[in-house]
Amino acid sequence: MPVAPSFWFRDGWLARALSPLGAITRHLTARRIARPGWRAPVPVICCGNVTVGGAGKTTLVIDLLRRLTEAGQTPHALLRGHGGSSRGVRRVAPTDSAAEVGDEALLLAAEAPTWIGADRGASAAAAVAAGASVLVMDDGLQNPTLDKDLSLLVIDGASGFGNGRLLPAGPLREDVATGAARCQAAILIGPDTTGALGILQPGLPVLRAHLVQDRAIEALRGQRVLAFAGIGRPGKFFAPLADSGAVVLETIPFPDHHAFTRRDLDRLSTRAAALDARLVTTPKDAVRLPSAFRAQVTVIGVGLAWDDAPALDSLLRLAKPAVP
């Protein structure tokens, strides 16, 4: 996905001019989600959002997979496999490449069995047959092929719902109220700097978390750094590096899921050498790098710290399939 256009985050003339086209998005999404889906015999947890890109869904899914595993469950992850060439249902293998299954699938597969496929119902059936006791969806709030038992609306506190307009005038896949009505709770990641919570319907539980970097970031204190990232919102990676005490000399953003070319890698190497700086990137970007180049790069991951972790655990315990 390309970098989100800046007008998605302000209500200027271009957003207003494109706004009538949002009616098409609203109609197509409503028609799609009205289709019946498959009812799995195990709980289905969906980590979704109403905006495109960068809300923190994959980070949340990784957190939930770890919690469910620690609780004695056998979670499997489901996602589309965006950025990969594979079609149909596929279980992600350690030997798969990001070009085949997508970068996010490789990150999830390091935590739990992971399945990709546009038809989440078909992927879910395969996962259940393989022994899954609970399914965790990375994205899919607008995907109708699998019924959900617990849907979590993931909100990035820094960007919220953008200008509040539907694609292509803004970042919304559907109206906030419509999507939130299908969710049992909202997950706010980071401070709510845009007033997003005020748009949600009263009574929707909100759980708050914030991003925390790996301990490896401590080794960058005082180090000269050239940071690069091809994620939904690269600034979410760049800012903490500077806050950690690293001397961030330059930042280079790439589009989300960017397939690095030889020219990209040569540019990064040349620029880092000119600056006498260490190359630093995210785990999501690292899995898209050739192994030889990856060995030259410092990888800094993130996790979630919860304001009320017991409340999250209680919510997960409530997730159980409804009686058909």
Write the pLDDT tens digit of every residue in 165-201.
999 999 999 999 999 999 999 999 999 999 999 999 9
Do 282 and 189 share a structural domain?
no
The domain of 265 spans: 215-300
Length of the chain: 324
pLDDT tens, 37-63?
999 999 999 999 999 977 899 999 999
Does the pLDDT at position 146 exceed 90? yes
> Is 1 domain-assigned?
no
- Percentage of the chain modeled with pLDDT above 70: 98
CATH of the domain at 97: 3.40.50
Select, from the ranges 239-243, 270-274, 317-321, the one with the highest average predicted confidence (pLDDT). Answer: 270-274
**Shared-domain flag, residues 268 and 178:** no
Q: Is 138 exposed, middle or buried (0-12, 13-18, 19+ CB in 10 A)?
A: buried
Residues 24 and 168 in one domain: yes
β partners of residue 150: 45
242-252 burial, b at 16+ Cβ within 10 Å, e below that, comes to eebebebbebb
d(Cα 61, Cα 78) in Å, to the nearest integer?
A: 10
Q: What is the pLDDT of residue 125?
A: 98
- Other CB atoms closer than 10 Å to residue 270's CB: what's the count? 10
Phi then psi dihedrals of residue 120, to 5 deg: -65, -30
Residues 186 and 47 in one domain: yes
What is the domain-level CATH number for residue 246?
3.40.50.2300
Domain identity same for 195 and 264: no
**Structural domain total, the chain:** 2
Q: What percentage of the chain carries pLDDT values higher than 90? A: 91
Q: Look at residue 323 and tell me whether its pLDDT is greater than 80.
A: no
Q: 88 in the Ramachandran plot: left (φ > 0), alpha (ψ -120 to 50) or beta?
A: left
Q: What is the edge-to-edge ordering of all strands in the sheet holding 75-79?
A: 90-91, 114-116, 75-79, 134-138, 44-48, 150-156, 185-189, 206-213, 302-306
Are residue 178 and residue 313 in the same domain, yes or no? yes
Does 4 score more than 90 pLDDT?
A: no
Q: End-to-end distance of the chain based on CA atoms, in angstroms?
A: 37
**pLDDT one-digit tens code per residue, 193-228:** 999 999 999 999 999 999 999 988 999 999 999 999
Residue 324 has pLDDT above 50, yes or no: no
